Amino acid sequence: MNPEAPWAQGAQQFQQMFSQGWTKALQSFQQMETGGAPGAVQFAPEKLQAIQTQYLQDAAALWTQGLQGQLKIDDRRFSGEGWASNPVAAFSAAAYLLNARTMMALADAVQADEKTRARIRFGVEQWMAAMAPSNFLAFNADAQKKAVETQGESIAKGIQNLLHDMRQGHVSMTDESLFEVGRNVATTEGAVVFENELFQLLEYKPLTAKVYERPFLLVPPCINKFYILDLQPDNSLIRYAVSQGHRTFVVSWRNPDESLSHKTWDDYVQDGVMQAMAVVQKISGAEQINTLGFCVGGTLLSNALAVQAARGESPAASATFLTTLMDFSDTGVLDVFIDESFVRFREMQMGQGGLMRGQDLASTFSFLRPNDLVWNYVVGNYLKGETPPPFDLLYWNSDSTNLPGPFYAWYLRNFYLENRLVQPGGVTVCGEKLDLRKLTLPAYVYGSREDHIVPITAAYASTQLLGGPKRFVMGASGHIAGVINPPEKKKRSHWLRTDGKLPPNIDDWLTGATEHAGSWWPDWAAWLQSHAGRQVPAPKTYGKAPSFKAIEPAPGRYVKQKA
């Protein structure tokens, strides 16, 4: 008897039920999308037929491989010895992966507009990630093996870890007890020289005998804390800038509480970025300063510069934009959340006051990569009773920040939903209609090739909006790892064009670009130096008496406030 025959028949029956069940699920999803109105979900017939055929072939092959003990599973969730030594567990993992591939193929076969299909795909990805057999003690062969070997101690420890994480309100990604802001992260020496209710301004101690006459101001995102730019001495962009001879200042945003729940986008531009620029000018005595904005900090900086340009002011000699959105046409996976109903709900919920909680934001970003940033730790922490290893980046990632509701709701509507910043005069900030074409200062624009928050196409799009001379560089890796790439590590690579051309899209730019090994930081440092002016003796004290004296040592108290 052919062992594949009964399996093929059963697989065919299963596939029929599978497709029917999936269709019903999609119909339910569509009803939710349309407020309960029923609608038929259609599949592309040729794609559906191909999926069914491929499923039957793969299911038969899986059955044969299982009988012969030759299952090959290329997924690190099932790569442990427990899975390999347990045929039943290995087969369940292989069957799960087959069904997951089929589900994703069915999601791609749905006949719908691109956004609806992306949402369905995102939902299926979340579902499949959650339903992996590795996430359940009853099916996780590695966790069972460890429980036997430790005589149940791993399970007891896992329960302790679960209770601990429930108390702290989030899944532990690292051993947070080993880190302390100001002790072993955010340790570059400096002082707070100004503060208002929104931010503290940090000035860092020079590491060179002379500094450039134009000081350097960094504007990090207010959606998380500034010390991503100052994790450790050997990977600190802040320390690197100081070591290059720049008199360096950094905005440290306050973690908003109810007292700031009414703050708006205009407040952060006027009383945040523009105030910081003015203070740096007063402390240094320089007519112009160099600026850098990272992620949302870059969007805030572009708005501040555009407001100043509309007023005929030019306090910045240059601007660096790291993984920054100005053109919101392509917002990557985050686009699945944004539509009129979602934005309107947020406006009703917190548009006139309230807080967007930091933990909610952190959870959203974690579930953009559910296997790596959620279920990996559920398995390790709770099923295996492990303590995650110390990792400064993941400690920072867990140190969440709130956002004022009016700020958040306005940002969603005007930028993410309506993309008004690309329209000359399309958005009014601080009483001025913004036109990015009027920003004629030199700009250095950086994008990360594998960024899922600011896609490389979106980062590059800024080059088509800004009106002055521009230099674009593309780095390897993602939103954070691509930016935090010190030269000494000799990791990754970056791409540049020597002809300086900036064609309309990134693909055309890449045809003339050359890959260079290692960090992009030295290229940026050389560019920034060309706009920094002459060198002068380094200051002996922080700030400038009598108005701007050192208030407290860096990193200050604002960054230590918890959400």
Mean pLDDT of 376-380: 95
Helix H segments across 330-433?
Answer: 340-350, 358-366, 370, 376-378, 392-398, 405-411
pLDDT at 278 > cutoff 70: yes
Question: How do residues 102-134 score in pLDDT, each as one tens digit?
Answer: 999 988 888 888 888 889 899 999 999 999 999
Under a CB-based contact definition with an 8 Å cutoff, are residues 191 and 407 in contact? no
Cα separation, 50 vs 533, in Å, equals 64
pLDDT at 312 > cutoff 90: yes
**Residue with more model confidence, 47 or 231:** 231
Listed residue (181, 180, 298, 199) closest to 252, CA to CA: 199
pLDDT at 25 > cutoff 80: no
Listed residue (215, 234, 223, 227) closest to 362, CA to CA: 223
**Residue with more model confidence, 462 or 16:** 462
Residues belonging to the active site: 295
pLDDT for 40 equals 54
Mean pLDDT of 368-382: 93
Question: How do residues 486-497 score in pLDDT, each as one tens digit?
Answer: 999 999 999 999
Tell the burial category of 113 from Cβ atoms under 10 Å away from its Cβ (0-12, 13-18, 19+).
Answer: exposed
Domain ranges (residues) in the chain: 4-149, 190-357+402-560
pLDDT for 2 equals 44
Neighbours of 61 (CB within 10 A): 12
Spatial neighbors of 91 by CB under 8 A, at least 6 apart, are: 62, 66, 71
Question: How do residues 234-251 score in pLDDT, each as one tens digit?
Answer: 999 999 999 999 999 999
pLDDT at 64 > cutoff 90: no
Report residue 9's pLDDT band, with 50, 70 and 90 as the boundaries.
very low
Spatial neighbors of 464 by CB under 8 A, at least 6 apart, are: 327, 502, 504
Under a CB-based contact definition with an 8 Å cutoff, are residues 188 and 414 in contact? no
pLDDT for 95 equals 92
CATH of domain 190-357+402-560: 3.40.50.1820
Neighbours of 547 (CB within 10 A): 11
Taking only Cα atoms into account, the Rg of the chain, rounded to an integer number of angstroms, comes to: 26
Q: How do 316-322 and 289-294 pair as beta strands? A: parallel
Cα separation, 78 vs 193, in Å, equals 52
Q: What are phi and psi of 322, to 5 degrees?
A: -105, 125
Q: Which H, E and C letters describe 180-245, residue by residue?
A: CECCCECCCCEEEEEECCCEEEEEECCCCCEEECCCEEEECCCCCCHHHHCCCHHHCHHHHHHHCC
* String of DSSP letters for 54-94: HHHHHHHHHHHHHHHT------GGG-SHHHHT-HHHHHHHH
Question: How do residues 448-484 score in pLDDT, each as one tens digit?
Answer: 999 999 999 999 999 999 999 999 999 999 999 999 9
pLDDT for 31 equals 47
pLDDT for 43 equals 80
pLDDT for 396 equals 95
pLDDT at 14 > cutoff 70: no
pLDDT at 10 > cutoff 80: no
Q: What are phi and psi of 554, to 5 degrees?
A: -65, 150
Prediction pTM value: 0.90
Q: Which H, E and C letters describe 103-145, residue by residue?
A: HHHHHHHECCCHHHHHHHHHHHHHHHHHCCHHHCCCCCHHHHH
Under a CB-based contact definition with an 8 Å cutoff, are residues 233 and 188 in contact? yes
pLDDT at 28 > cutoff 70: no
Mean pLDDT of 28-45: 54
